[in-house]
Structure formats: structure tokens, C-alpha cells
Amino acid sequence: MTQSDARARIVLALRQAGVTDSRVLEAIETIPREVFMSAGFENRAWEDAALPIECGQTISQPYVVGVMTAALSLSGREKVLEIGTGSGYQTAILAKLSRRVFTLERYRTLLRLAQSRHEALKLTNIVSKCADGGQGWPDQGPFDRIIFTCATPFRPDALLAQLAPGGILVAPVGAGAVQELLRYRLRDDGVFEEEALMDVRFVPLLPGVARDA
């Protein structure tokens, strides 16, 4: 099966599983996931599975990427903050669907790899930094959308404070092996609405910047 056939198959599977946002599906079909795989896993790029990458992290399965991206309700005009660049795959999807993406990664190795992939794909609306994602990026806020690609043990109040009125934050929340994917909306009156989407499994958000990676 060709890469093109494999992409089309996974997009059809996502649609059948309930990911119906046509812009999200087009971005998933357009961005070559194989570019973001670790060596030896390129031939598994279009499996609907989370797979290992460097620094003990993972690249999320396409279905979860689709659900989380669709939950952001992106129109193309938003300023987005991503907590956890990882392989850079979710970042690339966001870059196709928003005005500008700011992304934070604690592992320098991952950030360098992601930056090289984004440059190769000519994605020019991404701003990245090696930093503690749990602190967010306050001097670049507020953000229209915020997404966590790692699990935060509690409600991420520090990041909710960086959300613009009417904004949306999507994050896996919970300290166990299984977390709850939550969507927060900031109403114009300053009240947060919380909605549970599904159960997920993500690597945990870790504090600080990794010293040797």
C-alpha cells in the first residue's frame, strides 16, 4: 500500500469514528506523518496508534490528534499555544489550521528535530522555544486556543489565565495512567465552562527543562 493510500484509509477511518471536521481531516491527510517518526517506525506512520519517539515520549495516534484538533474549533485566524512540541506532528497540523502557533518543549533534542521537520515542510507560522510548558508563554499571550499534548495532573490554572476571552483550552487532565480529555471555554463574563470529551493516555507533563536532552 502506498503512503497516499494509507493516508486516505486513515482519514476515512477517522471520519467513521466521529472526526467530521473537513479542515482537520484535510490537514491530517496533507501533513506527512512519516516525516515525524523516529528511525525504524516510518513504515508504521499511518497506523492509528501512538508510537515511541526520542526522549521516552510518543507521537499521538491520528484519532486522538483529530479529536483534540477538532475540539479547538479552529477557523484559521487563531493564535495557538501548544504545550509539548514532541515530534512536531501536532504542531504541523495546528500550523495548517491557524494563524500562528507558539509551541513549548522541555527536551532540546525533540525541539531541534521538530524545527528541522517544520523547516523542511516550509511551515513558517510556528514559533518554538525550549521551556517549562507548565508555565505557558505569558509574554506572548493571551492565546485564542491552548492545547496540551501531555497530561496535566490538575486543572491547568496557570494556562487558563493566558486564554483570551472566548478562547478554548484542550488538555488531558489526571495523574493516573488514564486521563480525562477536557475542553475549557472562557466565556465573556470570565467564567470557565468545562466539558469532558473522552478518556485518553498521555505521557505526563514534567516541570522544568530537561538538562541533558
- pLDDT at position 199: 97
Give me the residues of the chain with pLDDT under 70, please: 1, 211-213
- pLDDT at position 213: 58
Cα 17 off chain centre by: 19
- pLDDT at position 209: 82
Using one digit for the tens of pLDDT, what is the confidence trace for 53-90? 999 999 999 999 999 999 999 999 999 999 999 999 99
Q: Please give the domain boundaries of the chain with CATH numbers for all domains.
A: 51-58+70-200 (3.40.50.150)
Which residues carry out catalysis? Answer: 60
- pLDDT at position 7: 86
